[in-house]
Structure formats: C-alpha cells, structure tokens
Structure 1
Amino acid sequence: MSVTIDISGLPAERVFVVPSPLGELGMALHALSEPGHHPDLQGWATAVSSRLDPSLADRLCEADFLWRTTFSDVFSPFAALPGGRGLPGATLAEELDQLDKLSDEQFVNAALEFTCQLRYDVQDPGPLADPELRRRSLELAAARGAVQERFTLRLLEDPPVVRAWFRQLMLDCEEAFFADTWARLQPQLAADTRHKTELLRRKGLGEALASLSGAISLDEEAALITIDKLAVGRAATGDGSLVLMPTSLGWPHVHVLRRYGWQPVITYPASGSRPQTPSVEQLTRRMEALSHPVRMRLCRHLARAPHTTSELADAHGMSAPEISRHLAVLKKAGLITHCRRGRYVQHQLDLPAVARLGSDFIEGVLR
C-alpha cells in the first residue's frame, strides 16, 4: 500500500524544504503520549512529563487524539492557505497566526478527520454543514470515550472558542517545555534544510527524495512520488508547491499531508537523527528469505565465519548451483556480504542487519 503525489508540471523552484515549529511541537506531543513509538526519546519524555503542571497535563489529555495515534493537519495550517504555496512560519506564533486564517470548516474537518472518519481526499461539506455527518462524528467520538465526545461536541457547537483554546494550549506548551526543545533542535533542522536544498539544486528531486527515507521514491517519467504507507491515497501539487518538512522528534514516522484542497507536504526524519529504516518491501523480502529452512541453516554457518559456495555445498550435502540460488536470495534481501580472497569469494552473514530486523519491523509498521 502507498500514497502517491502527482507532481506533473511542478517546477524545481516550487519544491521547498522548510522546518516547522508547530509541526515539531505536534511531534513532541505525540512522543510524550506514545513513548513506546520513540524509545530513544523516553528520557526526554519522562523529564518533560515530570515537570508538566497538572492543569496543563489535563488539558493535553482533552485533545490528545489530535496527535496520539495520528498526526492532525491542524499542525500544518500553511498547507491550507489560498494558492497552495504557503510555507511554515519561522516561529510558533507565526504558525498559530496561520492557523487563525483557516475557516471554521477547515479547522473542524482537520481536527476530526481521522477519529470521526471524515472523507480526506475529496471535497466534503463536513459535520458543521451536514447534520448526518455531525451525528456520525459524535457517535464515533463517543465510541472513543467521554473525553473525546465532550471535546467533539464543544468543537461542533463553538469552533472559534475551541480554536482559541487550542492556540493557548500550544503557547502554554511552548512556555512549559517546547521553547527549550526547539532551541536545541532548530540548528539541526536548519542544517538538514540547507543540505536537502543543496541536494535539490545539484542532484534534482529524485536524489533529494531518496535521501529523505527509503520509503519515498520518484518515478520521473510518470511524475509521481510514491510513499510506502499503511494507507492508500493520492494527492497532486497542481499549480501549487510541494513542501518537504524535516523533523527531529518524529522518527521513524514519514507523514504525508494529502488533504483535498491543501498543498501536499511530506514530513520526514532529519538526516543524522536516526538510521534509515528499510521499506516494507525490503522487510518482507528479508523475512521471506529467512523463512526457508535451508537458508536458515546457511545463516547459522555464515554467522560464525565466512564460507565459499563450495564449502557450504559440501557442509549441507547440496550442489553448488543450489547453494548459489539460496545465497542470491539472502544477498538480494541484504542479509549477507561477500569478499574476494584470491580466487575465492567468501560469504558472511551481515549480523547488524539481522540484529536490527526486530526494530526495523516495528519502525516500518509505525511509519
């Protein structure tokens, strides 16, 4: 499954790499509410959570469905600005001003998009205008608990009040912990932005996208970007632009904003923040390679020391061509390496690649 972005007619000058303070705050809130997704941030999450004022913590619980299991588009308001060429603000206050420019319908639809199963990639009147969608939204919110039901009801009854409440909540988070966090992360994000912008200029969009994540690829002939995701969806840049948004706190997630009428945005882990995670296709290939009993036996040999094809054939009572076929599967999956010793080629198990299989699988499905 994948999400695609049609970039037909998109000129190079309308591809931007820009960090977002509001987007990174959304990722920070996600990491605080789902520390299991981000084990490397558990120390930071524990320290921040222990210092939170109880009233702020309670208010965060009221709206955590906006960032706990999904990443709401309310954290990328620039993408909804008219013309499809908006960019994130330089400060959190600037981006909250952008959020204020959204209509009530845009804000409500973005806030309820996932939990209330609103249509995402087509034009939809939304629950403010459609009584049936309003009823359905409240019904689905109630199924997720009284807290979310109350929040959804408040949002549908008085969007401006909830928007003001949300804005103040973000400002209070900035004062409580995010200002310090952003000051620490901003230089890294700025460096990544410069590097990716230079890569775009020198090598083109294909090379730049490949450097973001193994989950992203470009078919230049079809003018189509494909992002390996659990969801299936499609977006297009049209006359607008494409924004690539680095995050330090969001790894391993690759988020794609593809809302109807909003410009496409790809949020990706900044370089150097974490290792690249293999695509789901690569993970599938590796697990399938290890599922065969002969290849498992070969791995046991190759984990201890390098061996030639002939040595493996003798040890396993098989022909050299049979061993070669199994080695080719393991090599294609990226599980073995080889080196030449004189006239002989020796194969060895790539222990770091195998050791990472468990964490790679978790990171791949969380992406």
Structure 2
Amino acid sequence: MTAPVNRRDGVPGAYRTMGGVSVTIDITGLPPERIHFSPSPLAELGAALHALAEPAHHPRLHAWTTTVSAGLDPCLADRLHEADFMWRSTRSDLLLPAEPRETLAEELDDLDRMDDEDFVGAALEISCSPRYGEGVPSPLVDAASRRRTLDLAAARGPRQAAFVERTLADPAATRAWIRRLLEDCDEAFFADTWRRVRVQLAADARHKTELLRRRGLAEALADASPALALEEDGPATRITVDKLTHGATAAEGRPVAFLPTAFGWPHLFAVHAPGRRPVVQYPVSAREVGGAEPVGTVRLRLEAVAHPMRMRLCRSLARGTYSTSELADAYGITAPEVSRHLAVLKRAGLLTTQRRGRYVLHQLDVSVVARLGSDFLESVLR
C-alpha cells in the first residue's frame, strides 16, 4: 500500500532497527543502476495536498498553506475535502509513482493506463484495507472485500462512504473525476509551486545519484535520511525504513524509486504492497528541523528522562557540570545509584562528560534535549 508505511504489525521475519520496527525492501541481486533518485510532480502534489489538509503537521509551510487555502475556489476546496482520505492521514499509492516523469500530465497518463482493479486498489487501500501488507482481493471482484471496504468507508463518514460507493460502481468515472481534480489543483496553485521547488528536488536527486555511483547505496541512503539504512547479511541485501510499523517487500529485479520532497517533512513514506514496485518518498529538508533521529533513539531518550530521579538530576545537570559524588550528596542517594542513572542518560545521548584531574564531570546536552520534542513529533509523523 502506500505509503505511510504505517500498516502492518507482526509481519513474519520483520527486520530489526533501533526502534524494533521497520519497513524493509529486499534488493538482493539488484544492480545499482536499478536504484533511481528522481523528483515526481505527482508525488509533490500529494505532499502539498496533505500540507493543506493538515497544516499543523507542517508549521514551516504556514505562509504557503494559509495563502493557498485563502485563495482556493470554494468548489475546488469542497472537492478536495471529498477526496482527502487519499492524502490526509497517509498517502495513497496512486500519489507515489514508481516511474516518475517530467510532467504531471505524463504521470496522470500513467494512472489512466492502470487497469480498474489496480487503480481502485491503489486509491482505496489506505482507508479501506487494513491488510495492506498481505494483499487482498480487489473489491471490484470479491464480495467479501467489497463489503469490508464499504464498512470501513462508512466508519469514516457519509462523504467517504459515498465516494467509495461511487468508485466501486463506476471506477472509470471516478478515475476521470480524480484526474480532473488534480489537474484543477495544478492550474489553481501547484504549477507555480512546482516551478519553484523542482530545481531543488532535481539537484537533490542528482546529488544522491552521484553519491550512489561514487560511494555506494549506503552513503546515498544515509544522505537522504537517517531513517534509511542498508543492511547486508551474507548475500541478502535490504533497505530498511525506520518506521513505527512492520512491513516487508522485495524488489524482485524491479527498479526502486526514491522521490525527494520539499513539502513532505517530517513524513517518510514507503510503498510496500504486494505486487507493487517499491517507492520511498523522503524529505529533502529533514535535517533542518530536529535531528531526524531513529524511532528507537527517541524512545530511549523519552524513557531516560521519564524516571523521577533522573528528572531531578537533569535539573542540576542542565545548570552546570557535576561529579557523581556531588550529585549523590545533593540528592541523598549513593554514588552507585547516581552512576546507574547517569549511565542511562548517557546511553540515550543526553549527557556530555569531561575529565578534570581525577574527577569526571557530567552535564546535560541541552541542545539534544531541546530537540526531543521535535524529534518525537517527527518520529510519530514519519
């Protein structure tokens, strides 16, 4: 399904990351030239529509979202609301093309060439298929899938239910309706936006491609996002996407597309539905806000500061440097107890240390703690 790789839990054989959960893409035997970094106007339009639907996720885009929302034709705004399940809480696979093109029209032409079953499955799977990672029969041909899809749509509200009913009854008409909607968005606001961001995205894609060619895939992935990594286990090679979910797919010789986005931070999406080509959309500005830390690191830091005594120790350590014995005296606990608490904080990367003679002095790394809020927000929105 789509993206947001936020679907399945408990996938057999799910691979490990620091956070214990991830989406993996098996690329064993895939030659480097089958890894593509390229901007996609359709994917960027999807990211822009999400920002309009959920501006709180994107405070740095406040000026853009406010200006565009204020200028939207009421009819277009109403149509966007009708279809926003495709981009509000996650991202439909339709909006993450496996073969990015130069123009939005070309990518919409590719959607027109999809058969009805694939199109409907890609459009509805986010909201209507909780078994994304397993693959389910198309609701166009399977009665049980159809009932399940309609039930899930009804739970989302009457407009969602009506949209899904119309889609299942006449997929060709809905396909044309979606294309017209996206074309109208392009005319109303996105064409100008795309002209401004495409240069940045193309430059980022060229840089990643050059890194891939000269220094290898691991370097290119690390440069794209700290949440992306390459795992090699004997002949097996996997790309891992650090997400609060389990999921797995395999390239099986097919190209893997990486789509840079200027509008997407802090989200990181990965298409991993059975039968679909793997796609990852990564934000080009991830380093500018927070530390883009792995989920496991954020969890470790939250657990470290949650303990009452460690909170009290942090109060002192934020104000200056202290030795273990000084903290023990100040808080009326033993030096070994202080050492155990300091070890937890240090493992979480929250302390700096310096040696002064025979004493080791500890201090809270305020810059890391200050980022904890934004890092936590990014990890849950990723």
Normalised by the length of structure 2, the TM-score is 0.88
- Report the number of matched residues: 359
Q: Map of 1:231-310 to 2, 5 A cutoff?
A: 231-271=245-285, 274-310=289-325
The one of 325, 336, 361 aligned to 1:346: 361
Q: Map of 1:1-367 to 2, 5 A cutoff?
A: 1-77=21-97, 79=98, 87-117=99-129, 119-221=131-233, 222-271=236-285, 274-317=289-332, 320-340=335-355, 345-367=360-382
The CA RMSD over aligned residues, in Å, is: 2.0
Shift of 1:10: 1.2
Distance (whole Å) between structure 2 residues aligned to residue 313 and residue 140 of structure 1: 57
Distance (whole Å) between structure 2 residues aligned to residue 28 and residue 8 of structure 1: 34
- Counterpart secondary structure, 1:346: strand
- Counterpart secondary structure, 1:304: coil
Shift of 1:341: 5.0
Shift of 1:121: 3.3
Distance (whole Å) between structure 1 residues aligned to residue 354 and residue 206 of structure 2: 37
Shift of 1:228: 2.2
Does structure 2 conserve the Cα–Cα contact (< 8 Å) formed by 1:213 and 1:276?
A: no
Q: Given the superposition, is the C-alpha separation of residues 275 and 192 from structure 1 closer, same or farther in structure 2, using an over 3 Å criterion? A: farther
Distance (whole Å) between structure 2 residues aligned to residue 185 and residue 342 of structure 1: 54
Q: Given the superposition, is the C-alpha separation of residues 143 and 294 from structure 1 closer, same or farther in structure 2, using an over 3 Å criterion? A: closer
Stretch deviating more after TM superposition (183-192 or 18-27): 183-192
Q: Given the superposition, is the C-alpha separation of residues 175 and 228 from structure 1 closer, same or farther in structure 2, using an over 3 Å criterion? A: same
Does structure 1 conserve the Cα–Cα contact (< 8 Å) formed by 2:139 and 2:149?
A: yes
Amino acid corresponding to residue 327 of structure 1 in structure 2? L
Q: Given the superposition, is the C-alpha separation of residues 142 and 201 from structure 1 closer, same or farther in structure 2, using an over 3 Å criterion? A: same
Does structure 1 conserve the Cα–Cα contact (< 8 Å) formed by 2:268 and 2:282?
A: yes
Unmatched tracts of structure 1, length 5 or more: 80-86
Distance (whole Å) between structure 2 residues aligned to residue 197 and residue 321 of structure 1: 51
Amino acid corresponding to residue 27 of structure 2 in structure 1? I
Percent identity of the aligned residues? 59
Shift of 1:107: 0.6
Unmatched tracts of structure 2, length 5 or more: 1-20
> Quick one: higher RCO (CA 8 Å, sep 6+), 1 or 2?
2
Amino acid corresponding to residue 29 of structure 1 in structure 2? L
Does structure 2 conserve the Cα–Cα contact (< 8 Å) formed by 1:21 and 1:182?
A: yes
Deviations 1:233-282 (A, max 9, x none): 11001111111111111111110101211111111111455444222211
Distance (whole Å) between structure 1 residues aligned to residue 288 and residue 260 of structure 2: 10
Amino acid corresponding to residue 130 of structure 1 in structure 2? D
Shift of 1:304: 0.8
Amino acid corresponding to residue 119 of structure 2 in structure 1? F
